[in-house]
Structure 1
Amino acid sequence: MLYGAIEGGGTKFVCAVGTSPGDVLDSVVLPTSSPESTLAACVDFFSAAERKLGAIDAFGFACFGPIDLRRHGPTHGQMLATPKPGWSRVQLLASLRSKFNVPIALDTDVAAAALAEWRLGAGQGLGCIAYVTVGTGIGGGVAPNELAGRCLLHPEMGHILVRRDPRDTDFPGVCPFHGDCLEGLASGPAIQARWRGQLDSLPPHHEAWSIIGGYLGQLAATIALLVSVQRVIFGGGVMANGLLLPHIRNAAANVLQGYLEPLSQPGALDDYIRTPQLGTRAGISGAFLLAEQAAAGSTGRCS
């Protein structure tokens, strides 16, 4: 079967066509601009791909959120109030549905990445994992997600409140909803606003590394306490070089204080908090897996 996959992020949309995550036949990277032009460009790509490769049997759409994923709700597929300007209340599936009469599975980009890492990457063989992306925004998902479609909303891990670092008390945060929530303090735009550059442009001894790693370590500890997954994987542009990992692990250890015994053993957090095995391919690979689920009729989030 031929699948269409979309990974929609705050900075770029990746569209691909193939028979599986490992067999991509065509792809394109599109800048995230207005929803109308971005979604239209996606449809144009898939229309052209069909002319070259044949009919697409199903789509998987992994997008930044928050999104209404309640399949039978009146606003299913709608972007809810989001920090991304111009995208609130956009119907994400309308453009695809207007052109392609095939099943479409929709989920968040982080849930799709979590699914891919669990099935194909750093979570293989484990019972459950969490995936966190740190980039334009911060989001997290869990795989497998047995509660899909039965919850109030998908997880919004990026908007939890964290303890402020004493070196960072003057920065108000960039989240338009909460100011200094985790995303408001540790996302790419928050780093840019504070230090006038991206994290990997700063020297390794700069305090920014331990400040941002400290906030993300609080999230890792919170996930371990609340969800009790077997591994937490951190991906996204801010994590690109992996230098944040030691700071995240140290901060998580400081929060947990040995309370979770499996994570208090020497080296346990080194194995528990990891980067993606699939790298930047996690999101689009997850979108392909969503398309496979849509074609098989096995997802509760299929249009």
Structure 2
Amino acid sequence: MAGLTDNDPLIAGVELGGTKCIATLARGRTILHQSRWPTQGPETLDHIAAALDRWHAQTPFAAIGIGSFGPLCLDRANGHFGHMENTPKPGWAGVDVHGHFARRFAVPVGIDTDVTGAALAEGVWGASTGCAVHAYATIGTGVGLGIVMDGKAVHGRLHPEAGHMRIRRTPGDGFSGACPAHGDCLEGLVGGPALAARAGRALADVPDDDSIWQRVAAELGEWVAMLILCLSPQRLVIGGGVLDHRPALLGRVRGAVADNLGGYLAGLDLAALQSLVVPPALGRDAGPLGAIVIGQSALRQARP
């Protein structure tokens, strides 16, 4: 295939999302095979591993990268490394996601959050190339944030969980929020299930001029402004299912960001935000390719 070289190792990627899971086989950014499953219980991992088994038997891959919904334990010094933490997704809390694949395949296995994987992929092949500090936010079933500095994912005690930050409520909004832990944190207001509950109908049936989108733009605009003030990113990519289906929402978010910044940051007006706050250049492949980048990193770390 065009673009392939002998220097590109064959990598298997596993993206575990809130509603769907995608397994990918790729050389570099060139996707060779892909399979999808709805995200159900942890048995979904068995279906994915079986697909990887078939691929590995036909054309052995060099490593596996996993980009998963969270929260995850990513501290290798912790005996719980690679396990799912206190996720509200039924049946998944405590599941050993990393070990499920590491025990089955004799290749290096890397793991990170799905949104961090997307951030890494956009930095290597997409909208954030050439940026030392950049981030990827996903607005989908949940709200996540991946931060990359100098080509490396930012982790501390945990990975970033900025989707659970609280922001000011818009006047007159009485929605109590849908997050089981925090109620009206950002995810509890603008995540897919929260929006459906807030609108009282399927999001596909909500017109673009409905007032709910004004509230969502205001909430996301305040959140993005805080991220800019805290991280000073050179690029902030916003993806996920909500914006996939409402691309016009991004323009409203930029306007709300400018309002929240209030001209404080020199040179960062609405025009400048057009190139700072952007959609993913990799489109819906950002997540699957993110898992490939995680696998590439695991392979590099395993080599002497």
TM value normalised by structure 1: 0.92
Which of 278, 284, 296 aligns to 2:282? It is 278
The separation in 2 between residues aligned to 1:45 and 1:210, in whole angstroms, is: 43
Deviations 1:62-104, CA, capped at 9 Å, x for gaps: 0011101001211100111112222111111122122101111
1:47 aligns with 2:53: yes
1:17 aligns with 2:21: no
Which of 251, 261, 267 aligns to 2:266? It is 261
> Structure 1: where are the runs of 5+ without partners?
none
**Residue 167 of structure 1: SS of its match in structure 2?**
coil
**Residue 99 of structure 1: SS of its match in structure 2?**
coil
User: Partner amino acid for 1:296?
Assistant: R
- The equivalent residue for 2:159 is 154
**Any conservation in 2 of the 1:69–1:149 contact (CA below 8 Å)?**
no
> Structure 2: where are the runs of 5+ without partners?
1-8
1:177 aligns with 2:181: yes
The separation in 2 between residues aligned to 1:145 and 1:108, in whole angstroms, is: 18
**Any conservation in 1 of the 2:120–2:151 contact (CA below 8 Å)?**
no
1:194 aligns with 2:225: no
- Quickly say closer, same or farther: Cα 1:149–1:142, change in 2 above 3 A: closer
- Quickly say closer, same or farther: Cα 1:33–1:56, change in 2 above 3 A: same
- Quickly say closer, same or farther: Cα 1:41–1:195, change in 2 above 3 A: same
- The equivalent residue for 1:118 is 123
The separation in 1 between residues aligned to 2:152 and 2:295, in whole angstroms, is: 19
- The equivalent residue for 1:28 is 35
Shift of 1:51: 2.1
Shift of 1:52: 2.2
The separation in 2 between residues aligned to 1:89 and 1:149, in whole angstroms, is: 23
Deviations 1:243-280, CA, capped at 9 Å, x for gaps: 1112211211121111111313x501122111111110
1:99 aligns with 2:104: yes
- The equivalent residue for 1:2 is 10
- Quickly say closer, same or farther: Cα 1:153–1:14, change in 2 above 3 A: same
**Any conservation in 1 of the 2:116–2:153 contact (CA below 8 Å)?**
no
* Identical-pair percentage: 38
Shift of 1:167: 3.4
- Quickly say closer, same or farther: Cα 1:293–1:147, change in 2 above 3 A: closer
- Quickly say closer, same or farther: Cα 1:228–1:261, change in 2 above 3 A: same
**Any conservation in 2 of the 1:3–1:17 contact (CA below 8 Å)?**
yes
- Quickly say closer, same or farther: Cα 1:42–1:91, change in 2 above 3 A: same
Shift of 1:30: 0.8
- The CA RMSD over aligned residues, in Å, is 1.7
The separation in 2 between residues aligned to 1:145 and 1:14, in whole angstroms, is: 28
Deviations 1:29-87, CA, capped at 9 Å, x for gaps: 1110001x11101110100111222x221111000111010012111001111122221
- The equivalent residue for 2:298 is 294
Shift of 1:166: 1.1
Which of 242, 245, 267 aligns to 2:247? It is 242
- The equivalent residue for 1:129 is 134
> How many correspondences in the alignment?
294
Shift of 1:184: 0.2
- The equivalent residue for 2:216 is 212
**Any conservation in 2 of the 1:188–1:198 contact (CA below 8 Å)?**
no
**Residue 180 of structure 1: SS of its match in structure 2?**
coil
- Quickly say closer, same or farther: Cα 1:185–1:145, change in 2 above 3 A: farther
- The equivalent residue for 2:69 is 64
The separation in 2 between residues aligned to 1:239 and 1:77, in whole angstroms, is: 29
Shift of 1:149: 7.4
- Quickly say closer, same or farther: Cα 1:134–1:149, change in 2 above 3 A: closer
**Residue 66 of structure 2: SS of its match in structure 1?**
strand
**Residue 172 of structure 2: SS of its match in structure 1?**
helix
- The equivalent residue for 2:3 is none
**Any conservation in 2 of the 1:171–1:194 contact (CA below 8 Å)?**
yes
TM value normalised by structure 2: 0.92
